[in-house]
Amino acid sequence: MQKTAICSDNVVQSFTKILFVMKLTIALLIVGLLNANARSFSQTVTFSGRNVSLDKLFSVIETQTGYTIFANKDLLHDVKPVTISAKNMPIKDFLTTILKDQPIDFVIENRTIFIKEKTPPSPAFTTQADLPPPPVTITGIVTGTEGLPLQGATIMVKSTHATTVTDEKGHFSILAAGNQTLIVSFVGYQSLEIPIRNRTTIDIVLQKALAELNQVVVTALGIKRQTKALTYNVQEVDGSEVNTVKDANFVNSLTGKVAGVTINNAAAGIGGSVRVVMRGTKSLTGNNNALYVVDGIPLPNLTTSQAADIFSGAGATGDGVSNINPDDIASISVLTGPAAAALYGNQAANGVVLVTTKKGIAGKLSLNVTDNTNFFSPLVLPQFQREYGSVQGNFDSWGDKLKTPSNYDPEDFFNTGYNSTEAMNLSTGTDRNQTYLSAARVDAAGIIPDNTLSRNNFSVRNTSSFLDNKVNLDLGAAYINVTEQNMLSQGQYFNPLIPIYLFPRGDVIEKYKIYERYDATRNLKTQFWPYGDEGFQMQNPYWIINRDFFINHKDRYVVNAAAKYNIDSWINVTARVKLDDNTTIGEKKYYASTSGLFASPAGAYYRATAGTKQLYADVLLNIDKALTHTLTLNANIGSSFLDTKYDYQSYGGNLLSVPNLFSFTNVNQSLATVAQDDYHDQAQAVFGSAELSWRNAVFVDLTGRTDWSSALVNTTASSIFYPSAGASVVLTDLLHIHSPAMSFLKVRGSYSEVGNPPQRFITIETYPIQGGFPVTSSYMPATGLQPERTKSTEAGFNAKFLRNRISLDVTAYQSNTYNQLFNPNLAPSTGYTSFYINAGQVTNRGIEATLSYNGPLARGLEWNSSATFTLNRNKIIRLLSNYTDKSTGETVSVDSLNVGGTGSYEMVLKKGGSIGDIYVTTLETDEHGYIFVDATSKTVLADPNNTYIKAGNAAPRYNIGFRNSFSYKNFNLSFLVAARIGGVGVSVTQAIMDRFGVSRASAQARDAGGVKVNGHLIPAQPYYQVAGGGVAGIGSMYVYSATNVRLGEASLGYEFPARFFHHKIQGLTLALTGRNLFMFYNKAPFDPETTASTDTYWQGIDYFMQPSLRSVGFSVKVQL
Amino acid sequence: MNLLKKLLSGLGVVLIAGCTKNFQQYNTNPDNATQQQLQYDNLGTGVFFSQMEQNIFPTAQEPAFGDEMYQVVQNLCGDVYSGYMGASDNWFGGVNNTTYSMTPSWYGQAFGRAFLSVMPAWLSIKKQTRGNPATQHIYALAQIIKVESISRTTDMYGPLPYKQFGAGGLTTTYDPQDSIYYSFFADLDSAIATLSTYVQNNPGSMPLASYDLIYAGDYTKWIKFANSLKLRLAMRLVYVDPVNAQKYAESAVNNAYGVFTSDADDALLQSADGINIHNPLQIICFNFNDIRMGATMESLLTGYKDPRLSYMFNPAVRDGKYHGIRTGISIPNISMYTDPFSTLNVATTTPIRWMSAAEMYFLRAEGALRGWNMGGGTAQSLYETGIQTSFTQWGAGSAAAYILDSTDKAAVYVDPSNSANNLSSGISTITVHWKTSDPMETQLERIITQKWIAMYPDGQEAWSEFRRTGYPRVFPVVVNNSGGLISTSAQIQRLPFPQSEYQSNATGVATGVAELGGPDNGGTKLWWDKK
């Protein structure tokens, strides 16, 4: 093999060569497999018996052929036992024989046998004379809830059993009297009874049957699996769940709907990033957010740097997944555990959100147009006072009680935000070729004035088949364009909320709304804010929103192609390629007279361009094969290639001469900042999985993957192997339990190992360049690193009761992440700020459970309810223990590690503690533990020893989501209650408001004659100057429980049937929707589910965060 | 499972193994210099001089945030504690270093600058030159710059994890300040000897010309700098070890190259060699709007009608007069302390003066006052030459009349924004004119007061000398938020050790606290502070 030839620098070229080699290998494999298994390939049945029940015969067919039989139990009421003797009889003949005199018939599709009602010979046989009203021809269309026509649906007249089947366009025509009732049924949908009531045209919409037993779900790499075969927990969310109450970032719509997941939205308002942590944080220094996968292919990691200090937070931006058009989503599978995701190798440790997008459907052209309009207001604000004023010229509000309360209300600053989304999608196609087109436009404005977001999504997808269905092609292209302006999450810099919240109550805000005044010497308007920055980098809040701009433009192109070749009915090979190219341009424009900390008198201008280009390709051989009468193999073998290039350049600085001319040519070149940051990562992998099923009731699943990653250079391993194994047993099938009370029971268990290579670059010592000259590195060079590894086990069961109406899924898991890449801070005395080492071990254990009910509540009233429960316990088993430094032989242990904070609030990792533990400063206490009060000054003091006490953990103890949907006739009402129990947060906002005397607490204290400390009143102002003083106050005085219960979503919809419009349009749905409507319970002065950072740390801290949004709106959906 | 692993690995070898050879290249940061590249053009030693020189008075720009660093390392520390300048901002509601509530994110930075930016660069040079006699001149220069850096640092904190630095351990024990100081003299002596030999053997050779921002590689000037630094540090010991103080001071002055004698000798950090040095004081004063003239400065300069005043400060926008701000006051509204007060007369191109010839004359004057051999000249003549050298440095012309002024004294201080800060008692009564009949202590106050004016704006050195001698009479703080840890009258003595040391070098910092001989706060005196 010519190694050098294969290893061309040209990635695409080398990949095509890999593909070629892969093809050869697969061809060889196929030949081998064919030889090995040719004998067991059989579709015949051998059986003899007298008066055997059909149930028994069906299971004989299933075990001997590996086929699956779908049979609605109701259809089997009137069947008779059968006597038969068959030897190697083809399956079709066997079925025809045993069903000959039965009221049922069968259809075979793709190794699945559907049992259906037998079509009576002809409606003409009904005795018309017996029926007083003469039968008339009734016509109509049967569609599914997605609006697409259903071909092959059965329509039967209830009393006469006259039956017909819909054509390819869903049309039917049947003879029936006007006082009779039609029964409409279709595989995979709930049957419906419709009284005719003398109509001649009836359009019928069938609801999807949710508790379908042999449901198929999408798993890793887009591989479809029977739900009952899964050895791990996969939760499916229908596309409608993220579209009914729409959010600009669809991930927010998963809140409360999936167990085992903690979702926190960033405080950046509309379109902000979302923090999604599955089964607890595992990695001390790595990424802990879930991986997003669209149609089997991982998305590039487009997360952006997050606020992690008291300053930053202005100019935030949404993550890559926030660009996805929710209307394109057909369904979402959530793989919370590593076992489910093991085929993704090193990216899988944190779980996966798998998105399956829509594609064109054969049938008539269908066009959907939707409009969603939502209005936003702040959900939780701190409480302000307006009774006490300020001393003239002072910024704080510790003045006298006002004669009439101030009419200043910080809430007035906020606008009513809105988000208007118009989306259309079109689906058309024939049996051979289907096309899906979609376009969407989002226009949104935040609650902070001048915060806007707009997004355009276009996508087109074509699926086609050739050569008698031997070859399937799937081609797609998408373009996304996003513009964000002034997204703010928190912090001091450019945060208008600080001056707005702290504004002196004795002053009049109207004066400052004219935020710029004419400056005669400069002949331009300059900022009016005589108060100065007050040590908080404050500016005039109206200047900030109108004259300091943070604008991000994103352009993203995605093209993908997949080809599938069906070698035989049981084997196919798929190849996929996807290129995802994302460019973000971030601009900052600070107008002349912006605070000198940020700009020269002429202003400042910065512009940064970041490009991420990801090429993914894989080849996958899929085998679905009956090995013996009872044993079926479902196997995949493949190889993948992932190449990511990132380039970042920025330039900018203070403007030199011309005010407000935002151009590089006007930047003060000698002081300009220039930055460049690039990387090129490559990972290659081979993987395989095998699922063996025995009697379609016992399943064993094995997967393995080996990764070669460029970040492994100079580590102890050149590749990493990740295995997983699992088993599941459908007890109801295995033991032939067919009781209506217990309709299904499966137990399952799995084990997996996944992991992470070390961070790129750290194993090769280099010297950063500053100002054109190399400088020493801030970290010790890393040697002898190993990849991080997570070993996890999970076990669970799925049970369904009362004819599948109630289902309960419970999973218990444990994961152990060790060999963690650990980046502890070093004392400055070492000359380095940090070093890298494998150490640290973190375990997570928990339970995720879903209980749901799906069925009628009363006549005509359908109730669909589900409750999710999430519990996770995180424990740091060790940090760095007994590490021996090579050069000195010195052995060190690190049992505590500070991972950042404000000074009053710190996140600290401690051996025996948990990731997310919050430590806070305290007031000085006396020898009895009481707060020390100075006898003469009557005030308290900050603890002079600066000791930190543990306040709690930022993560919840439990999460509960309770979702309900009621449908009655064409009305649908649904709501979601989301509860989070446990965890704490610290509000620096409240501390600083107290110090400035603008909080309600500070007014109440003054009214009461002071603050009660140790049971005695002490003067309020000096107390709050200590408790709310310093950098961020005394942390222990501002710790709040993060427990909260909210009405997370609500919607009320009405669906107009097509006949309402005389079939001019196919349907119209109107809905009133709401999100985050109100808190049933919340004791914190901020929304505890909102976070300033989507990273692992800087959680549970409110430093003037933008409030979360309450949203109320409506949606209109028209189907043409 | 094993079989699967073998199968996959086998497949992988076929498919991939040959294709990972670019991984080495992919995993090397393309925007950084490699070890190999550092061997070109003597970069491996040369560039680290620039790094050291840019971090003593922090100026390195983003991402190093030189201006912000200078602000917390120098400006909101020595510059305000020396009375040179007054803060016009009220960070954290006025509860910060200026009012003696020590802010961890500020007081830890000087330590970090020394040990994360200066010392690692020094260590790299040490490793590159170790064992090679031909490159010992390079190491000698690194030693001098190291002493300049660490002497300023130890005068802020006291004991430091200095001598064990770079030994490779993850924890480092602290050295007492006396042993740190004595090592300075040993290091300087050795460096002076090495460089003197090199200059004699290689006249005109300047191997580091393109990396040295201060003297463009002129070793002769560096020898003078080393002697001058030695004199400065020797004087610091005068109340704790007068014998050695005299010994080191005399050897510095009487060295063949001697100490600075004219402005041309001054060590100036300014743009050179493609590196832009932008005076951070200009940014802090005019862009951040955070600093103004100090009240003590106003009192002395206006009182003496000092001609240097307009070269150092600008009249206030509000009334065209000079007004300084006291350190440690309550600022309820920032606009009260910006426009009504005097900005600094500093431009972006103003060089940062590490050390001046004027300072040397005042040090020699003090030595002469103490009866030391200061290379000729009386205390009076050296004192007067010091004043004239400073006038020349500032471009203020002849100091003849100023030197003869025996009547003008420090002015009463009036705060135009808040009369509660006014000060009329306890301020200096010293005059400029030298009187041989005055007692020694008065003459010392006169020398130190003039040295204080001359050394502006290096507040760090001025604060150290104020602590050593008690002169000039720097105004005390009005608001003291230290909770009794720092005396208002004795004023602040030092900075606490950084929190990062407590977090990651707990055993090491414990030795530091033990060596300190008192609690780790701003009220504990340093080793040499014995007057």
ipTM: 0.81
If you average pLDDT over every residue of chain B, what do you get?
A: 91
How many contacts, defined by CB atoms under 8 Å, are there between A and B? Answer: 303
CA-CA-CA-CA torsion sign (A311, A316, A321, A325): positive
**A-chain residue closest to B417, CA distance:** A393
Beta carbons within 10 angstroms of residue B449's beta carbon:
22
Find which of A615, A829, A832, A894 to mutate to test the B interface (most B CBs within 10 Å of its CB): A829
Instruction: Tell me the Cα Rg of chain B.
Output: 25
Task: Please say if the pLDDT value at position A891 is more than 50.
Answer: yes
Which of A150-154, A861-865, B95-99, B231-235 has the highest mean predicted lDDT (pLDDT)? B231-235
Least confident of A390-399, A513-522, A994-1003, A1016-1025: A390-399
Q: By the 8 A CB rule, do B314 and B342 touch?
A: yes
Rounded Cα–Cα distance for residues B110 and B108 (Å)? 6
Contacts of B501 in chain A (CB under 8 A): 827-829
Q: Where is pLDDT greater, at B6 or B499?
A: B499
Mean pLDDT value across residues A346-360: 87
Rounded Cα–Cα distance for residues A405 and A388 (Å)? 7
User: At A217, is the pLDDT very low, low, confident or very high (cuts 50, 70, 90)?
Assistant: confident
pLDDT per position as a tens digit, A40-62? 335 778 887 788 888 888 877 87
Q: What was the pLDDT predicted at A146?
A: 67
Query: Are A827 and B20 an interchain contact pair (Cβ–Cβ within 8 Å)?
Result: no
pLDDT per position as a tens digit, B133-157? 989 999 999 999 999 999 999 999 9
- A225 min Cα distance to partner chain B (Å): 21
Contact of A526 with chain B, judged by CB distance below 8 Å, is answered with: no
- B248 min Cα distance to partner chain A (Å): 29
Rounded Cα–Cα distance for residues A976 and A963 (Å)? 4
pLDDT per position as a tens digit, B262-276? 999 999 998 887 788
Rounded Cα–Cα distance for residues A264 and A478 (Å)? 28
N- to C-terminal Cα separation, chain A: 58
Rounded Cα–Cα distance for residues A761 and A774 (Å)? 16
Q: What was the pLDDT predicted at B11?
A: 53
Beta carbons within 10 angstroms of residue A821's beta carbon:
23
Q: What was the pLDDT predicted at A835?
A: 81
Rounded Cα–Cα distance for residues A221 and B169 (Å)? 47
Q: By the 8 A CB rule, do B114 and B153 touch?
A: yes
Task: Please say if the pLDDT value at position A127 is more than 50.
Answer: no
User: At A803, is the pLDDT very low, low, confident or very high (cuts 50, 70, 90)?
Assistant: confident
User: At B10, is the pLDDT very low, low, confident or very high (cuts 50, 70, 90)?
Assistant: low
- Between helices B2-15 and A11-37, what is the axis angle to 10°? 140
Beta carbons within 10 angstroms of residue A136's beta carbon:
14
Rounded Cα–Cα distance for residues B246 and B242 (Å)? 6
Residue with tokens 């000259």: A773
A173 pairs with which residues across the strands? A139
Task: Please say if the pLDDT value at position B298 is more than 70.
Answer: yes
Task: Please say if the pLDDT value at position A374 is more than 80.
Answer: yes
> What is the percent of chain B where pLDDT is above 90?
70
Q: What was the pLDDT predicted at A16?
A: 46
Which of A246-255, A386-395, A1076-1085, B115-124 has the highest mean predicted lDDT (pLDDT)? A1076-1085
Question: Which residue in the set A533, A713, A714 is minimally distant from B334, CB to CB?
Answer: A533
Q: What was the pLDDT predicted at B531?
A: 87
Find which of B5, B8, B41, B45 to mutate to test the A interface (most A CBs within 10 Å of its CB): B8
Contacts of B23 in chain A (CB under 8 A): 682, 708-710, 712-713
If you average pLDDT over every residue of chain A, what do you get?
A: 86
Q: Phi and psi for A883 in degrees, rounded to 5?
A: -80, 130
Q: By the 8 A CB rule, do A68 and A111 touch?
A: yes
Q: What was the pLDDT predicted at A4?
A: 37
Task: Please say if the pLDDT value at position A20 is more than 70.
Answer: no
Q: Which helix (H) or strand (E) holds B366?
A: helix B357-369
A796 pairs with which residues across the strands? A748, A811
Maximum distance among all Cα pairs of chain B, rounded to whole angstroms: 101
Q: What was the pLDDT predicted at B3?
A: 52
pTM listed for this prediction: 0.80
Least confident of A105-114, A430-439, A538-547, A917-926: A105-114
Pairing of strands A261-266, A1090-1091: parallel
A564 pairs with which residues across the strands? A472, A574
User: At A26, is the pLDDT very low, low, confident or very high (cuts 50, 70, 90)?
Assistant: very low
Q: What was the pLDDT predicted at A208?
A: 67
Rounded Cα–Cα distance for residues A485 and A586 (Å)? 10
Q: What was the pLDDT predicted at A936?
A: 82
> What is the percent of chain B where pLDDT is above 70?
95
Mean pLDDT value across residues A1081-1103: 93
Task: Please say if the pLDDT value at position A178 is more than 90.
Answer: no
Least confident of A446-455, A566-575, A770-779, A861-870: A770-779
Half-sphere exposure of residue B132: CA atoms within 13 angstroms, side-chain side: 11
User: At B61, is the pLDDT very low, low, confident or very high (cuts 50, 70, 90)?
Assistant: low
Residue with tokens 């060190």: A892
Task: Please say if the pLDDT value at position A563 is more than 70.
Answer: yes
Query: Are B23 and A772 an interchain contact pair (Cβ–Cβ within 8 Å)?
Result: no
Which of A183-187, A589-593, B12-16 has the highest mean predicted lDDT (pLDDT)? A589-593
Q: What was the pLDDT predicted at A477?
A: 96
Mean pLDDT value across residues A528-535: 86
Beta carbons within 10 angstroms of residue A1060's beta carbon:
14
User: At B91, is the pLDDT very low, low, confident or very high (cuts 50, 70, 90)?
Assistant: confident
Q: What was the pLDDT predicted at B372?
A: 96
Q: What was the pLDDT predicted at B426?
A: 85
Instruction: Tell me the Cα Rg of chain A.
Output: 33
Mean pLDDT value across residues A858-872: 91
**A-chain residue closest to B287, CA distance:** A596
pLDDT per position as a tens digit, B470-491? 999 999 999 998 888 999 999 9
Scan residues 618-637 of A and list those with Cβ closer than 8 Å to B.
637
Question: Which residue in the set B166, B275, B501 is minimally distant from A773, CB to CB?
Answer: B275
Residue with tokens 């015949």: A44
Per-residue tokens: A97:
């024989």
Least confident of A558-572, A735-749, B194-208, B332-346: A735-749
Task: Please say if the pLDDT value at position B227 is more than 80.
Answer: yes
Per-residue tokens: B490:
């004795």
Q: What was the pLDDT predicted at A38?
A: 36
> What is the percent of chain A where pLDDT is above 90?
47
Mean pLDDT value across residues B172-188: 95
Cβ-proximal residues to A642 (8 Å cutoff; 6+ apart), any chain: A298, A614, A615, A616, A681, A682, A683, A684, A685
Task: Please say if the pLDDT value at position A595 is more than 50.
Answer: yes
Question: Which residue in the set B21, B170, B336 is minimally distant from A7, CB to CB?
Answer: B21
Q: What was the pLDDT predicted at A126?
A: 41
The SS3 assignment for A344 reads: helix
Query: Are B26 and A680 an interchain contact pair (Cβ–Cβ within 8 Å)?
Result: yes
- B65 min Cα distance to partner chain A (Å): 10
Query: Are A827 and B500 an interchain contact pair (Cβ–Cβ within 8 Å)?
Result: yes
Question: Which residue in the set A676, A766, A1025 is minimally distant from B28, CB to CB?
Answer: A766
Q: What was the pLDDT predicted at A168?
A: 77
Mean pLDDT value across residues A672-676: 88
Mean pLDDT value across residues B484-511: 90
Task: Please say if the pLDDT value at position A982 is more than 50.
Answer: yes
Task: Please say if the pLDDT value at position A121 is more than 60.
Answer: no
Rounded Cα–Cα distance for residues A300 and B266 (Å)? 56
Give start and end residues of each alpha helix (H) in A928-1033.
Answer: 988-995, 1000-1008, 1020-1027
Per-residue tokens: B400:
């003849």
Rounded Cα–Cα distance for residues A752 and A689 (Å)? 13
Maximum distance among all Cα pairs of chain A, rounded to whole angstroms: 109
* Residue count (chain B): 531
Number of H helices, E strands in chain B: 23, 5
CA-CA-CA-CA torsion sign (A305, A307, A311, A313): positive
Strands of A879-916, DSSP E:
880-884, 891-894, 896-901, 905-910
Nearest to A794 by CA among A728, A841, A735, A696: A728
Mean pLDDT value across residues B22-43: 87
Task: Please say if the pLDDT value at position A496 is more than 60.
Answer: yes
Q: What was the pLDDT predicted at A1030?
A: 67
Contacts of B156 in chain A (CB under 8 A): none
Q: Phi and psi for A382 in degrees, rounded to 5?
A: -65, 165
Task: Please say if the pLDDT value at position A39 is more than 50.
Answer: no
Rounded Cα–Cα distance for residues A164 and A156 (Å)? 6
Query: Are B119 and A831 an interchain contact pair (Cβ–Cβ within 8 Å)?
Result: yes
Q: Where is pLDDT greater, at A303 or A1075?
A: A1075
Q: By the 8 A CB rule, do A354 and A408 touch?
A: no
Query: Are A761 and B34 an interchain contact pair (Cβ–Cβ within 8 Å)?
Result: no
Q: Which helix (H) or strand (E) holds A732?
A: helix A731-734
User: At A540, is the pLDDT very low, low, confident or very high (cuts 50, 70, 90)?
Assistant: very high
Rounded Cα–Cα distance for residues A143 and A1023 (Å)? 69
* Long-range contacts at A539-542 (CB < 8 A, ≥ 24 apart): A539/A494, A539/A499, A539/A594, A539/A595, A540/A499, A540/A512, A540/A515, A541/A413, A541/A496, A541/A497, A541/A499, A541/A500, A541/A512, A542/A496, A542/A512, A542/A513, A542/A515
pLDDT per position as a tens digit, A294-351? 988 888 877 777 888 888 888 888 888 888 999 999 999 999 988 777 788 777 788 9
Least confident of A382-396, A820-834, B187-201, B254-268: A820-834
